[in-house]
Amino acid sequence: MTAVTATAPTGHHGFAHAARMEWIKLRSLRSTAWALLLTVAGMVAIGVVTMANTKVPSADKAAAFDPTNNVLAGVALGQLVVGVLGVLVVTGEYTSGSIRSTLAAIPDRRTLLTAKAAVYGTLTLLVGEAVVLVTFFAGRAALADGVPRPGIGDPGVLRAVLMSGAYLGLIGLLGIGIGALTRHTASAIATLVGVTFVLPAVIGGISGPTVAKFFPTMIAGNSLAVAKPVSDMLSPWTGFAVLCLYVAVVLGAGARLLARRDA
């Protein structure tokens, strides 16, 4: 009798194989560890320094005083690092030419992008939630005597902390989507920085919060990372829904173009 060994056809791996492959690539890059370490160290340091310099509010400002928003100030740095790394997860393969090998193994480009988004999004979500919790408790301990200390059980505080961690995961996915749209590192990073930092500052200076409040950074700082509502800004859950919509649209457009264009 002759034994026949069945072999899986090449180029027909499913989502599980694609996700495993993306995880191996992501964890093997030294830049991943360094970028996430920078995110953690930078956010904790900014949160601690900000809280250490937070003063007792005057009587007329006591009602609006929100130390939770202060301790989460480092999210601005975290989103930049996480977003840029998300861009590189996609564009780095085009720059090196390794995208051809990847597509040979995973010819279904939508499956490939879904795997990239799932792996990187999960990683940044977990890191984001961990770092905001560490930052909150470290920053809280750095407050001077007499300054009201926020408690994790206070109204709105836990929601603000967890949403800020989730925001980093969403920005990571936004970076993936922008990378898939442009396939070029410099233009993708420029787009990411323009949308998150430049445009809201310019538009906010011209028209105030009317339009600027819909940009990611404004949503993060004035809707998600607040325990007390900010006037003229989106509510936390509305802001979070808007961010999810942005991510869905950008990833959907990126997947469509990725499937239609040559490698």
Question: How far, rounded to the nearest angstrom, does the alpha carbon of residue 251 sit from its chain's CA centroid?
Answer: 14
Question: pTM for the whole thing?
Answer: 0.92
Residue environment code for 222-245, b if the CB has 16+ CB neighbours within 10 A, otherwise e: bbbbbbeebeebbebeebbebbee
Quick one: pLDDT band at residue 5, thresholds 50, 70, 90?
very low
Determine the Cα–Cα distance for residues 113 and 109; give it in Å rounded to an integer: 6
Q: How confident is the model at residue 12 (pLDDT cuts 50, 70, 90)?
A: low
% of the chain exceeding 90 in pLDDT = 85
pLDDT digits (tens, 9 = 90+) for 131-148: 999 999 999 999 999 899
pLDDT of residue 259: 87
Residue 77 identity = L
Q: pLDDT tens digits, residue range 81-125?
A: 999 999 999 999 999 999 999 998 899 999 999 999 999 999 999
pLDDT at 263: 61
* pLDDT over threshold 70, residue 54: yes
Q: Which of 229, 257, 65 is nearest to 146 (CA)?
A: 65
